[in-house]
Structure 1
Amino acid sequence: MPEPDLELDSRRAIYQRIADTPGIHFRALLEELDYAQGTLQYQLRWLADRGLIAVSDDGKYTRYYPEADFDEADQTVMNALRREYSRRILAHLLADGPFSTKELSDRIGKANSTVSWHLSNLADADLVTKERDGRSVVYEVTDPDRVAYLYTVHRQSFTDRVVDRLLGLWESY
């Protein structure tokens, strides 16, 4: 029998989608579930008010997490992992880092400015550290174990085969 708070099919479906895809944002929920925007907003607010889900703002999206499973540090890591190029940058840094912006740009195939923007966001979130090395700045993951663990545990909710191949982490946890 479902928990009393999750008796409604719609509420249970929304909660389950959040549990299956921690860090999912509103638009993705709206696209994946067949509910009206107002219904989804109401149910998300209801779940948050009762402490069943946590709400996190990553600067671009409002993301949702099962409250009991993710502390603030985990949410910060997952917010970054939900962004494709931040995820790839973290993967390269974990696998072979530390790297400069130029080195990461070459590996990812994106402009220096794009990589720099993502690195700046990752540094602001304390997910990477930066250290001056001559004329360049070198980046390294602050808590590699946490990032690797969260990526590995929630790997199936990401659709990034490049990172999967690069890290090959599934077997290590």
Structure 2
Amino acid sequence: MAEPDLELDSRRALYQHIADNPGVHFRALTAEFEYAKGTIQYQLRWLADEGLINESSDGKYTRYYPTADFDEADRTVMNALRREYSRRVLAHLLAEGPLSTTELGERLDKAKSTVSWHLSNLSEAELVTKERKGRRVVYDVADPDRVERLYAVHQRSFTDRVVDRLLGLWDSY
């Protein structure tokens, strides 16, 4: 029998989807389910009020996480991993070590300004560190073990095969 908190099918389905896809955002939930937006909003609010899920903003989206599985630091990492180019920046830094904006731009085939914007967001979230080496500034992952663990455990919910090939982390867990 289902837990009393999750006795409604819509509530249980939303909670299970959030548990299977931590960091999912509202628009993705509305695309996944045929429920009215108001129903999804109501059930999300109910789950949050009951302490079953947490909300976390990544600056663009409000993302949802099961409370029992993700602390604030985990949610911050997952917010970044849910953004394609932030995930790719982190993957290159994990795979290759400290890199400059120019080096990351070459690897990502993106303008330095775009890479700089992503690095700035990652730095503000305290996910990357920066260090001046002479005239260069290089970036590195602040907590590589946490990022690798969360990526490896949840990589099936990401759709970025470039990062999968670059890291190959799922084999190590």
Name the TM-score class by shorter chain.
over 0.9
Quote the Cα distance in structure 2 between the aligned partners of 1:31 and 1:132: 44
Give the equivalent residue in structure 1 for 2:45.
45
Which residue does 1:27 correspond to in 2?
27
1:70 aligns to what? 70
Amino acid at match of 1:167: L
2:129 corresponds to which residue? 129
Counterpart in the other structure of 1:115 = 115
Letter in 2 for 1:8: L
* Cα deviation, residue 34, structure 1: 1.0
C-alpha separation in 2, matches of 1:85 and 1:115: 8
Q: For each residue in 1:141-160, what CA deviation from the matched residue of structure 2 results, as whole angstroms up to 9, or x when unmatched?
A: 00000000000000100000
Give the residue type in structure 2 aligned to 1:136. Answer: R
Q: Which residue of 2 aligns with 1:157?
A: 157
Name the residue aligned to 2:95.
95
Kindly state the Cα deviation for residue 133 of structure 1 after the two structures are TM-superposed: 1.7
TM-score normalised to structure 2 length = 0.99
When the two structures are superposed, what TM-score results if normalisation uses the length of structure 1?
A: 0.99
Amino acid at match of 2:75: Q
RMSD: 0.6
Paired residue type of 1:99: L
The equivalent residue for 2:143 is 143
Instruction: Kindly provide the amino acid, as one letter, of the partner of residue 109 in structure 1.
Output: D
Q: Which residue of 1 aligns with 2:15?
A: 15
How far off its partner does 1:132 sit? 1.0
- What one-letter code is carried by the residue in structure 1 that aligns with 2:90? L
Report the CA distance between 1:135 and its aligned residue: 2.1
The percent identity for this pair of structures is 77
* 1:140 counterpart SS class: strand
Residue deviations 1:13-60, cap 9 Å, x none?
Answer: 100110010000010111111111111100000000000001111111
1:125-150 per-residue CA deviation (whole Å, 9 max, x = no partner) reads 01000011222210000000000000
Q: Which runs of 5+ in 2 are unaligned?
A: none
Q: Aligned partners of 1:155 and 1:128: how far apart in 2?
A: 20
How many residue pairs are counted as aligned between the two chains?
Answer: 173
Q: State the one-letter code of the partner of 1:13.
A: A
C-alpha separation between the residues in 1 aligned to 2:109 and 2:42? 41
Q: CA deviation at 1:97?
A: 1.6
Structure 1 unmatched ranges of 5 or more: none
Counterparts of 1:144 and 1:168, CA distance in 2: 14
